[in-house]
Amino acid sequence: MTTGSTTAPSQAPSWPHSLAVQALDACAAAMVVCDVRKPGRPVVYANPAFCTLTGFRLDEVLGRDCGCLQGAQADSAGLQAALAAGAPLSTVLRHHRSDGAAFWHRLSISPIRNEMGMVTHCVGIQEDVSERIARDHGLQRLLDAHGAAADAGPAFIPEPSVGTGPDPGCAAVHLLEHELHDALAKDQFRLVFQPVVHLASGAVAGFEALLRWEHPARGAVAPAEFVPVVEACGMADAVTRWVLERVVAQLRAWEDEGHHGLQMAVNVPPSVFEHEGVDRHLLELLAQHEIAANQIELELTERTLPDASAAVIVRLQALRRRGVAVAIDDFGTGHSNLGYLTRLPLDCLKLDLSFVQGAVSNPWDATVARMACELARALKLRVAVEGVETEGQRQFFRNLSCDMAQGPLFARPLEAADATALLGSGRRFDQAAPAAAQERRERHLLLLDDEPNILRSLRRVFRAQPWTVHTAGTPDEAFELLARHPVGVVMSDQRMPLMRGTEFLARVKQLYPDTMRIVLSGYTELQSVTDAINEGAIYKFLTKPWNDEALNQEIEQAFRQYEMAADSHRLQQRLLESNKVLEGRLQNAERLQREEVGLDVTHEALGVVPVPVLGIDLSGTIAISNAAADSLLGGGVSVVGGHVADVLPRELAERFEDGRWNEARTVRIGGDSYEVRCHHLGASSRGMGTVITLLQGARA
């Protein structure tokens, strides 16, 4: 998916009909095509592989109701519902050959739509799985319970639904579970690595490890199809261990090649931490391969957070204390509350790609992205974005000070060898562009019109102006340019096939409220224009044909308005910053005044205390003394500023210089005995030094 792309998708090559039929005839997979517009959904094409699989001749198949091929007159209600809905379907189905023999096959159905989006045909691809089922007697009995042994009608067993989660009692789930166990044992899984890029520098900061399954007969199986079954059937623990072993080994290999400090993100379900084992296994792997714990980031999808029990949180906290990072993946799509963000030991939020792809054109998605970034910063978390496809999306999130990004703009998931080659190249994903400060000082004008001739004419009008002119033929192209450049003035046509100009400019106002927005149109739709002006969506409405000189003056005036508003905002920002500085200084002055008052009160209170009290700093200088101390040690003269060696008795002074204060018990001064009590400062305050009190009357 390339939402917001500035280039039109390339057209598929047009093959001659005869060549397309020859290609389907040569396909090794059994294929059949049905016309869903006609009663009974008759078969209009079947390839030789289908005839070989079922035993039917082509003339016995063409024109027949596809349900009749199942060996019974009544078709499956579930299969019929899927065909009627025109939705993709994957199922395990009991079929009958031409001689009546039953066999099990996996059927994948895909709809074919016309240019209006209506489903006209369905393509069915079949794979015989009878031998696989026959090898598992328990699974065979389970399928028999679903009607496989009965001759009354076909058995229709739907595959697990990704949206609602797999049904543990579904026979197809058990078949897939059987194949997954086989895949783990026969090493059919593999990992691919998608680069994670530091947005500020463009350097590769690490990778996300993604699990893939190469089925021996079906080829690559979509993760959305098998990952939910892995988690539901109790294989998550084993598969997670398998992934962690290969991830840590790969990090070790990269370290040995000189690529140090890379971080690897690994998707894990919370359930694997319900019991001790996976966490300990991870720590053992890190120690064995001598990999730093912070090079592993465990990603939990937001929708699984409610499943995180107290035991899971405790183990994640223990891992984080050891240095392992924890992130929330697909943030913004789940149903969790914000309490989980404070309960879980998190390091990073990863924004879901649905918000990333709409951020440059959809004000709602842009608002969610901004709020998520502000929330993450308030919680002192890193922000990563996934699914970045365009330069505009990257610039949008770089402006939000996001930390990391990944997506097709940088690289699609890579095999280990390709990822190693990327690291070896030292490539940085920062597109050559003018310096940001210089670009902000320039004037940028954006023109949107669906007619290329109009755009060329407008470029000629402005060719003598010191402006950077950007042109777009569609709203998506315009939003992309707005995200990439500091556009000050936007001028749009009104009547366009995808979106009216006033609607486009209303979105621009929400996304970039400081821009000056102008409609240039040959049509006057009074109501829409009036509404747009009243809502502040447009600055002016200009008509075609235009006068070149007058149009240049209008754009010049619009830039002046934009720059005046920008200067005003800068002054307001500086004023706010100055006010914050002044407020901080006033608060400091008030604090110092309170401390001075408190110090005066303390001195006065010490002065009336009848017990001699001394405050001594780290150098041995007396900083505080009360009246009783001055009377005893200074003959009524303040001893503040004197050194302990000059003021205190020699025995006491020597103990201070030797650091043996705690050994002193009593001392004689002027013929009287005093008990010496010491209190070292700093345990509960910012003070440094020692306070001593002398209690008269102690026994020597």
Reported as a single tens digit per residue, the pLDDT across 571-601 is 888 888 888 888 888 888 888 888 788 777 8
Same domain, 410 and 529: no
Q: For the chain, count helices (H), then strands (E).
A: 25, 25
In the block, tokens 């046509």 appear at: 493
Residue 172 forms part of a structural domain: no
Same domain, 403 and 454: no
Over residues 622-629, mean pLDDT = 87
Phi-psi group of 277: left, alpha or beta (phi > 0 → left; psi -120 to 50 → alpha; rest → beta): left
The answer to whether 314 and 274 are in contact (CB under 8 A) is: no
Same domain, 82 and 132: yes
Over residues 397-419, mean pLDDT = 92
CATH number of the domain to which 541 belongs = 3.40.50.2300
The answer to whether 331 and 352 are in contact (CB under 8 A) is: yes
d(CA 326, CA 317): 9
Over residues 85-92, mean pLDDT = 63
Over residues 323-344, mean pLDDT = 76
Residue 185 forms part of a structural domain: no
Tokens describing residue 127: 């794979």
Residue 598 forms part of a structural domain: no
Question: How would you classify the pairing of strands 443-448 and 296-301?
Answer: unpaired
CATH number of the domain to which 361 belongs = 3.20.20.450
Same domain, 25 and 123: yes
d(CA 167, CA 142): 14
The answer to whether 517 and 537 are in contact (CB under 8 A) is: yes
Render 283-343 in DSSP notation, one character per residue.
Answer: HHHHHHHT--GGGEEEEEEGGGGGG--HHHHHHHHHHHHTT-EEEEEEETSS---THHHHH
With 60 as the cut, is the pLDDT of residue 452 above it?
Answer: yes
- Residue 101's SS3 state is coil
Residue 5: exposed, middle, or buried by beta-carbon count in 10 A (0-12, 13-18, 19+)?
middle
d(CA 551, CA 234): 69
pLDDT of residue 143: 54
The answer to whether 382 and 348 are in contact (CB under 8 A) is: yes
Same domain, 144 and 194: no
Residue 378: exposed, middle, or buried by beta-carbon count in 10 A (0-12, 13-18, 19+)?
exposed
pLDDT category at 439 given cuts 50, 70, 90 is low
pLDDT of residue 271: 84
User: Radius of gyration (Cα) for the chain, nearest Å?
Assistant: 38
Fill in the amino acid letter for 625: S
Q: In terms of pTM, does the model score above 0.85?
A: no
The answer to whether 286 and 316 are in contact (CB under 8 A) is: no
The answer to whether 628 and 616 are in contact (CB under 8 A) is: no
Q: How many residues does the chain have?
A: 700
With 70 as the cut, is the pLDDT of residue 233 above it?
Answer: yes
Residue 313 forms part of a structural domain: yes
Tokens describing residue 612: 């001699």
Tokens describing residue 422: 């990327």
Which tens digits make up the pLDDT trace of 18-52?
677 778 888 888 888 888 888 878 888 888 988 88
Number of domains in the chain: 4
Residue ranges of E strands in 129-247: 156-158, 189-198, 204-215, 219-221
Alpha-carbon torsion (204, 210, 216, 222), positive or negative: negative
In the block, tokens 């039929």 appear at: 21
pLDDT category at 434 given cuts 50, 70, 90 is very low
First-last CA distance in the chain: 91
Task: Give the up-direction half-sphere exposure of residue 397: CA atoms within 13 A in the CB hemisphere.
Answer: 35
Same domain, 529 and 613: no
pLDDT category at 134 given cuts 50, 70, 90 is low
Same domain, 291 and 312: yes
Q: How far is CA 326 from CA 238, 320, 334, 381, in A?
A: 20, 7, 17, 10
pLDDT of residue 307: 67
pLDDT of residue 520: 86
Residue 69 forms part of a structural domain: yes
Q: Of 537, 552, 568, which marks where a domain is finished? A: 568
pLDDT category at 659 given cuts 50, 70, 90 is low
Mean pLDDT across the chain:
80
pLDDT of residue 438: 56
Helix (H) or strand (E) holding 541: strand 540-543
With 50 as the cut, is the pLDDT of residue 145 above it?
Answer: no
d(CA 321, CA 293): 10
With 70 as the cut, is the pLDDT of residue 5 above it?
Answer: no
* 266 or 625, which is more confident: 266
d(CA 369, CA 351): 7
* Of the candidates 511, 473, 516, the residue with the CA atom closest to the CA atom of residue 491: 516
Give 424-428 contacts, CB < 8 A, sequence gap 24+.
424/257, 424/259, 427/204, 428/201, 428/202, 428/203
Q: Hey, which residues does 540 pair with through a beta bridge?
A: 518
Residue 550 forms part of a structural domain: yes
* Of the candidates 566, 668, 689, 562, the residue with the CA atom closest to the CA atom of residue 625: 689
Residue 4 forms part of a structural domain: no
Alpha-carbon torsion (81, 83, 88, 91), positive or negative: positive
With 60 as the cut, is the pLDDT of residue 227 above it?
Answer: yes
Residue 467 forms part of a structural domain: yes
Range from 369-373, 453-457, 508-512, 524-528 carrying the lowest mean pLDDT: 524-528
Residue 69: exposed, middle, or buried by beta-carbon count in 10 A (0-12, 13-18, 19+)?
buried
* 502 or 136, which is more confident: 502
Same domain, 249 and 369: yes
Tokens describing residue 415: 């095999």
Same domain, 301 and 418: yes
Q: Hey, which residues does 622 pair with through a beta bridge?
A: 616
Domain carrying residue 667: 609-696
CATH number of the domain to which 632 belongs = 3.30.450.20
Fill in the amino acid letter for 170: C
* Of the candidates 306, 346, 342, the residue with the CA atom closest to the CA atom of residue 324: 346
Same domain, 201 and 322: yes
Same domain, 411 and 457: no
With 80 as the cut, is the pLDDT of residue 399 above it?
Answer: yes
- In degrees and rounded to multiples of 5, residue 372 shows phi and psi of -65, -40
pLDDT of residue 432: 46
Same domain, 286 and 343: yes
* Of the candidates 351, 348, 350, the residue with the CA atom closest to the CA atom of residue 365: 351
Fill in the amino acid letter for 192: V
pLDDT category at 657 given cuts 50, 70, 90 is low
* Of the candidates 276, 195, 300, 211, the residue with the CA atom closest to the CA atom of residue 247: 211
